[in-house]
Structure 1
Amino acid sequence: MNKFLDAISEKLLPLANVLGSNKYLSVLRDAFMLAFPVTMFGSIIVVISNLPFFSDSLKKTLASLLGNGQAATMSIMTIFVVFGIGYYLSKTYDVEGVFGGAVALSSFLILTPFYTTTESGKMVTEVLSLERLGAKGMFLGMITAFIAAELYSRISNKGWQIKMPDSVPPAVAKSFAALIPGTLTLTLFLLLNAALTGLFKVNLHDLIYQVIQAPLVGLGSSIGATLIAIFFIQLLWFFGLHGQILVNSVMDPIWNTLNLENIEAYKAGEQVPHIISKSFMETFTVGLGGSGMTLAVVLIMAFVLKKQMYKDVGRLALGAGIFNVNEPVIFGLPIVMNATILIPWVLSPIVVTLLNYFVMSLGIVPAPTGVSVPWTVPVFFSGMLATNSILGGLLQIVDMLIVGCIWYPFLLVLDRQADYEL
């Protein structure tokens, strides 16, 4: 068994190191975190406006009064992500990040059609459609931001800048320094947009959405891809690597896009189109005690196992586990490199995720609405908030019972092993 684990470790560690040290994945993660506070505010507004015990007329009134809180945050999440990518990527090149973010955002808007079509088919010009600033424009926004910030930073580092005397205020000097790199970068995107719209009568928004985003979102919303992602999260954690960060850095763009599509449909009073989304992953995996759904494990250790060493670890980890922080049990049990509990560690999240997907696909429990719930919200409450239904909280309780049943025999083995060692 040890040889088998060593062989897997030798294969996984190089891949994990590449993902963990990749500049672009780190920038992408930080950009999404930049958008987190405003999207969280938008989520709170959606929850308040759609509480299940409100009448339909009250919901409509609240939507008209408070709707801008969601429209100005979650509905334009792509804008924050684009600016964040430009900012953080420019910083990696030691270039002024604010200007990198502004150039990236402007490049994205250059490629964005300033028109929309009404339900009657009439075209309205000189307007920006919210869907292009939200879910539908997410992938084009990310691609554009990376390219624009890369060009801007590289041109800046070549010294193609207007140098001002030292007596000039720093803010003015930085603006002039950004003038040539910014102009060249924006010119390239303007020419690209002119060529596409003038010669081919297409825009990159629709092209990227149809060719790249729609297929990737379709793949990422499948239960198969989700289970593979969960498997690697658990396996990486087993070897002491933060599986959540490593896998999420790849999957978050897809899961966040699914989340945005859900919240837009929910706000419009339509059926939520996706079960798998960022809210689903946060609430019905991490939201059950942290990575690996370990709150049930902590409770068994604290109150069921006989050996004092496990009781102590369980009770020490319980406070943090309630708020879905489970490093104390991961490294205190330990779960890392502990072959005895490898099977329940990997198996229980997969089984529970399959169950959750199944009951939501049948309509027994509503799928998450797309509302962003902080991952530190305790079990039951996070489930209710994510689904806008008490059934979401009850499903989390069922999930914990299943995790406990899977783990229990393996924890008993650990308990007896400790007795034998003593």
Structure 2
Amino acid sequence: MKKFIAFMEKHFLPVATKIGNQRHLIAIRDAFAYTMPLMIVGAFAVLINNLPIPGFQSFMNGIFSEKLGDSYVWTLLGGNIWNGTFAILSILISFLVAHNLAKTYDIDSISAGIVSLASFFAVGGAQGMDSAGLFIALIVGLISTEIFKRLSGVDKFNIKMPDGVPPAVSKSFAALLPAIFTVTIFAFVTMLLNAMHIENVVTAFYKAVQVPFMGMANSYPTALLIAFITPFLWFFGLHGANMIEPFMQTINAPAIQANAAALKAGKEIPYIVNKPFMDSFVNMGGTGVTIGLLIAIFIVGRKNKPYMSVASLATAPGIFNINEPLAFGLPLVLNPILFVPYILAPMVSVSIAYFATVSGFMPACTSMPPWVTPPIIGAVIATASWQGGVIAALNIVVAALIYAPFVYMSTAIEMRKSEAALNAA
């Protein structure tokens, strides 16, 4: 372990540190940090609405029996909270990324954020205000700010107001022409795409990414691909789980039905890879087996105050497989140090669970517990066996071991920063 850490500190950390100090990545990182309180509130709202305690839903429905459409009124509280948090995530990120990046260039950051927001809606952001439009929001925030910065540097585009005009009015007029041209550029590009029969950029992007997955079948390579692509997309700010959901649903329903029928008939279970397999043995704590990351932080990252603060807040939702507070709080998004274990842990977990099933030690998944069912419990329910719980527990231990050296490195970097700050003071 010491040799491995020494090797990573010598060869990996310098590159990771350089990447981590890149202004565009910092702007994105800080944007997610600003949204963390909302993500925590939204995560708890989702948790309460889907709490996997036997009888909880019936108990709540019995007390609050009034319904609005197909939903019980009490569930609307969590839904409304979601509308004010996750449902507007892309809007917030579009503004905050531009705002943060503009500050590093020492230009009007408020105007840059507003221009980014307008540009986001110009490319169809109304169809992707939640995490579905996150990637587009990031790109628009970065590009619009770069365009706005360059146009703001052209004297002919600056409308200067007389002395005595309030600063807010003066800034708004100074940003007028750069804002007009920036938004128009995005609107023009969108018009060209519309002329090519691409009705919405956000929708088209999702279709372009999802379609290649739609015809894939149940297999070990498929499981590895899912385990890789989901955290890989999350690393770049895309909601990987949502993006591959249509693919998972195309294989999930028939696979579960066939497995249940085979179990009832006493035959061999035909399908190993399905949604409960991924939820119960791979997405424990959330994408990336992040329950293992939480354990690693509490064991080897206790001196890392930022990590401990986030981990303390993210543990409760993490137990129920909600890891947005962790993903956006550490963050995992565009975190070069945690990239390797974030990808590796789920792929190793898939392999352990798959071959445990193939070998006959553990039955295949024949039922689908709610995705918020806590780790180990979900595996027992999905496989209807204690062996499933054993494999889930093994995966958690292995994931924690995979994350541990990288958490240690992050802690070392944070301690160096703290020491440097104290010395500078």
1:280 maps to amino acid: T
1:168 is aligned to 165
1:378 is aligned to none
Question: What is the distance in 2 between the residues matched to 1:98 and 1:88?
Answer: 9
1:25 correspondence with 2:25: yes
Question: What is the distance in 2 between the residues matched to 1:349 and 1:163?
Answer: 56
1:54 correspondence with 2:57: yes
In 2 relative to 1, CA 166–16 (structure 1 residues): closer, same or farther, beyond 3 Å? same
Given that 1:81 and 1:142 are in contact with CA atoms closer than 8 Å, whether structure 2 keeps it comes out as yes
Question: What is the distance in 2 between the residues matched to 1:38 and 1:384?
Answer: 23
Q: Tell me the alpha carbon deviations over residues 347-400 of structure 1, each in whole angstroms, 9 at most, x when there is no partner.
A: 99986676579899937895754xxxxxxxxxxxxx8499999989x8899359
State the shift of 1:229 in Å: 11
2:193 maps to amino acid: L
State the shift of 1:253 in Å: 1.1
1:108 correspondence with 2:144: no
> 5+ unaligned residues in a row in structure 1: which ranges?
114-127, 231-246, 299-312, 326-346, 370-382, 408-422
2:175 maps to amino acid: A
Matched pairs, number: 312
Given that 2:379 and 2:392 are in contact with CA atoms closer than 8 Å, whether structure 1 keeps it comes out as no
2:235 is aligned to 251
Question: What is the distance in 1 between the residues matched to 2:288 and 2:162?
Answer: 53
1:151 correspondence with 2:147: yes
1:58-77 to structure 2, matched below 5 A, reads: 60-77=72-89
Structural RMSD (CA): 5.3
1:286-301 to structure 2, matched below 5 A, reads: 286-290=293-297, 295=299
1:207 correspondence with 2:204: yes
Given that 2:293 and 2:399 are in contact with CA atoms closer than 8 Å, whether structure 1 keeps it comes out as no
Percent of aligned positions with the same letter in both sequences? 27
1:368-407 to structure 2, matched below 5 A, reads: 368-369=371-372, 384=374, 398=393, 402=397
State the shift of 1:185 in Å: 0.1
In 2 relative to 1, CA 404–75 (structure 1 residues): closer, same or farther, beyond 3 Å? closer
1:43 is aligned to 43
2:57 maps to amino acid: F
1:85 is aligned to 97
2:191 is aligned to 194
State the shift of 1:89 in Å: 1.4
State the shift of 1:97 in Å: 1.6
1:294-309 to structure 2, matched below 5 A, reads: 295=299
2:159 maps to amino acid: I
1:308-319 to structure 2, matched below 5 A, reads: none
Question: What is the distance in 1 between the residues matched to 2:47 and 2:57?
Answer: 11
State the shift of 1:100 in Å: 1.2
Corresponding residue SS for 2:286 = helix
Question: What is the distance in 1 between the residues matched to 2:81 and 2:102?
Answer: 30
2:135 maps to amino acid: F
> 5+ unaligned residues in a row in structure 2: which ranges?
65-70, 216-221, 254-273, 315-343, 383-388, 403-425
TM-score scaled by structure 2? 0.56
Question: What is the distance in 1 between the residues matched to 2:90 and 2:169?
Answer: 29
1:375 is aligned to none
Given that 2:159 and 2:173 are in contact with CA atoms closer than 8 Å, whether structure 1 keeps it comes out as yes
State the shift of 1:406 in Å: 7.9
State the shift of 1:179 in Å: 0.8
State the shift of 1:107 in Å: 0.6
1:142 correspondence with 2:126: no
Question: What is the distance in 2 between the residues matched to 1:165 and 1:100?
Answer: 23
Question: What is the distance in 2 between the residues matched to 1:19 and 1:6?
Answer: 20
Q: Relative contact order (alpha carbons < 8 A, sep ≥ 6): 1 or 2 greater? A: 2
State the shift of 1:402 in Å: 4.1
Q: Tell me the alpha carbon deviations over residues 241-271 of structure 1, each in whole angstroms, 9 at most, x when there is no partner.
A: xxxxxx99x81513x4436988xx99xxx99
